Chains A and B, each alone.
Chain A
Amino acid sequence: MRELVAAASHLDPTLRLALLVGSSALLLSLVSLAYLFALRLMLIRRQRRLRAIARKWRPQLLAVTVGEPFAGPRRVPVGERQEVVHLWNKLQASLRGDVKDRLNSAFRQMSLEADCRRWLRARNPWRRLLAIVALGHLADPGDWPRLRPLLDAPHPYISISALRALMRIAPMRAASDALALLEHRSDWPRGTLLVAFQEAGIDQVTQPLADWLASANDEALIRGMPLLQTGDLTRLETPLLRLLRRERPVDVIAGALKLVESPHALPQIRGLCTHPAWEVRTQAAAALGRMRQAEDRYLLRALLADRNWWVRYRAAEALLRLPDSGAAVVYDEFSRLDDRYARDILRQAAAEQGLPMEALP
């Protein structure tokens, strides 16, 4: 070694530098490799440990789902609690009906609620999420004050999970609180929000939605419009009709047009067929198709020549949904059209509906 150092000292400085950089890179690579190896070992050990916990507890929990009393140990070792709660949460999410009550009973026998309540304040977000979800399944009204502050949490997944948990405890109250926050929560995943409202059920969410519709600003309305489909639309009709005004934002009008079912809305829908935004005209044509009023034939015929393809397409679909829209009527409509685009779109819509189009010019 000494000879090696002595030989190196006689080397050209550039070569010495290259040797130093090369040795350092080699050393760094070896350290990184050792680190990766250690991480891999830790992962394997962790997976092995989780599998062992699942092997131990899953049969006990599964037995509960087929109606057997919980026969597992009443005390879950500290190191196994997180994984047991995870397994229990997954079972709760997969099943419905009275089996959920039996699973709740098993959870209480294992005295895991206290851990979950403590984990709500944990630094580890995964542990917090597990606790929020578990307490939601338990649906104990006493946990509302612990979970409600988490609805305002900056992390979207913590906050939306808290909403789902709260929806299970007091759905009407939770729906009202969520709708009030909607304006500021553009980070909430829309799909999860919709599922939370769907799970709560139509009876629970309709009143909060009606109250919100009556007072929400346009920004909140745009964000929350898809939630309206989870409510009873006949009870939401009056506030929905108030949204069908030309001065409202395009997304609000178009969103409301997607939902209206009542013939009371017909005068407003017809008026919106000439709205400058194609999104509104498209949804107005689709709404007229749902209403199926024969007198709208002329209005829809005019929309067949619209400059936007989607408006023309929805108008053609709507026209074919009107009463007495058999092949003979379609041929008659077709013969009245001068516009090439109108004829093309009617031909396409009729073909999609299986009407024989061979006779058309």
Chain B
Amino acid sequence: MNATVPRPIILVIEDDDHIATVIEFMLQREGLVAERIADGRTAAARIATGPAPALVLMDIMLPYRDGYELVEQLREQPGWERVPVIMLSAKSQEKDIVRALDKGANDHIVKPFQPRELMARIQRLLRSGG
């Protein structure tokens, strides 16, 4: 990748350290930068005060504040309205994903996930810009 072009930052909000590490590794291999956050409270503060990333990858079940609240918050945050959001959910939460899409998420991935599928969805949303 050209050194003068900044690499897109992907905000990974996931409390499972192992899954976050796997995702971070995959993003790095694709030339993307992962910014990791492990709980809903820190994520809420990051959304309120930090610059918008290129994409948000977020678990639904998080400590302190869940993914639904965070999607709602980030859609109301100036500059974040059009940031693509992919929700990560466990198989048992599949029915809840409709709620996340209603709140403003763009896509969802079920855990356990297929690495190629995850990267394809991220690239598609990055190309379309949300």
A8 within 8 A of B: no
- A58 at interface (Cβ–Cβ under 8 A)? yes
Residues on B with beta carbons closer than 8 Å to the beta carbon of A154: none
Q: Is B93 an interface residue (CB 8 A)?
A: no
Give the residues in chain A near B22, CB-CB below 8 Å.
62, 65, 91, 94-95
Q: Is the CB of A97 within 8 A of B114?
A: yes
**Inside 8 A of B113's CB, which chain A residues have their CB?**
94-96
The prevalent SS among residues of A at the interface is helix
- Shortest distance in angstroms between A269's beta carbon and chain B's nearest beta carbon? 25
In the complex, how many residues of chain B place their beta carbon closer than 8 angstroms to a beta carbon of chain A?
Answer: 15
Q: In the complex the two chains form, is A65's CB within 8 Å of B26's CB?
A: yes
A99 in the interface (beta carbon within 8 A) = yes
Q: Which of A90, A91, A94 contacts B111 (CB 8 A)?
A: A94
Least CB distance, A245 to chain B, in whole angstroms: 32
Is B51 interfacial (CB-CB < 8 Å)? Answer: no
Does B98 have its Cβ within 8 Å of any Cβ on chain A?
no
- Distance, CA A93 to CA B111, complexed state (A): 9
Measured in the bound complex, the distance between the Cα atoms of B26 and A66 in whole Å is 7
Does the CB pair B111–A97 fall under 8 Å? Answer: no
Are A93 and B112 in contact (CB-based, < 8 A)?
yes
A59 to B25, CA, bound (A): 8
> Is residue A105 within 8 Å, beta carbon to beta carbon, of the partner chain?
no
- Give A59 to B91 CA distance when docked, in angstroms: 27
Q: Tell me the minimal C-beta distance from B47 to chain A in angstroms.
A: 26
By secondary structure, the B interface counts as helix
Of the candidates B21, B29, B114, the one whose C-beta lies within 8 Å of that of A95 is B114
Complex interface: chain B residues within 8 A of A104 (CB): none
Q: Is the C-beta of A109 less than 8 angstroms from some C-beta in chain B? A: no
Q: Does B18 contact A (CB under 8 A)?
A: yes
Encoded as 1 (CB less than 8 Å from any A CB) or 0, chain B from 10 to 45 comes to: 000000001101100110010000000000000000
Chain A residues, Cβ within 8 Å of B29: 66
**Chain A nearest CB, measured from B104 CB (Å):** 22
Task: Say how far A60's CB is from chain B's closest CB, in angstroms.
Answer: 11
User: From B18, which residue of chain A is reached at the shortest CB distance?
Assistant: A90
A268 at the interface (CB under 8 A from B): no
Bound together, the chains give a CA A342 to CA B117 distance in angstroms of: 52
Binding site for B on A (CB under 8 A): 58-59, 62, 65-66, 90-91, 93-97, 99, 198
6 contacts between A and B (CB under 8 A): A62-B22, A94-B111, A95-B112, A95-B113, A95-B115, A96-B112
A-B pairs, 3 with minimum CB distance: A97-B114, A96-B112, A62-B25
